[in-house]
Amino acid sequence: MTGSGCADASRVATRQLLHAQATAPAPGDHPSSPAKTLEFISDRAERYTTQHDRDGKPLGPREELEQTLLLELQDTTEVRENSSAWGELRACAVFDEVLREELARVTLVWVQEVAGLLGRVQPTAPPAALAAAAERLTALLEGLSMRWLSGTLRIGHARALMGDAIDAEIETLGR
């Protein structure tokens, strides 16, 4: 994808999210730039990955971690739009230094959030190990998402692979 192709892809991603946001309950926060689009994607993902049954008992640390990561792999319009826009913006960041910096910031926040969840599951794990595990899990999630969206991986298999990776990282952190 060239720089001009990225500009087109970014506009497509922004248009898709504008359409989605037009039906969303939070008016007035339309993404008009890649940075605003990233903010919208992040806020939206936080909403759909932190929802849980309000009548049910609170989630334990491991269940919260699994839910946060696995709900990024669900076959809904909202998740498809978010994941495809994220992938387009990540690809465009190769050619756009400003976008690359903003994407690095947003990615770091995401990695830190996952590291925090891992730390609740394995509270005695060293911070560097938690950060490395979170980096691996978020990178894997992005790759699985792109394969799912491109039709080269079934969603159920992607979720199973992510679940196996979560198990492996928790086990490694527990040693």
**pTM higher than the cut 0.85:** no
Average pLDDT, integer, range 147-168: 97
Q: What is the pLDDT of residues 42-63, one digit of tens each?
A: 778 877 777 766 567 888 999 9
DSSP characters over 82-142: HHHHHHHHHHHHTT-HHHHHHHHHHHHHHHHHHHHHHHHHSTTS-HHHHHHHHHHHHHHHH
- Determine the pLDDT at residue 97: 92
Q: What is the pLDDT of residues 65-123, one digit of tens each?
A: 999 999 999 999 999 998 998 899 999 999 999 999 999 999 999 999 999 999 999 99
Q: Given a cut of 80, is residue 27 above it in pLDDT?
A: no
Give the span between the Cα atoms of 134 and 140, in whole angstroms.
Answer: 10
Distance set, CA 95 to CA 13, 23, 37, 116, 143 (Å): 16, 32, 17, 31, 20
Pick the CATH number of 3-173 from 1.20.1260.10, 3.40.470.10, 1.10.357.10, 2.40.30.110: 1.10.357.10
Q: What is the pLDDT of residues 122-154, one digit of tens each?
A: 999 999 999 999 999 999 999 999 999 999 999
Return the percent helix, strand and coil in the chain, to nearest 5: 75, 0, 25
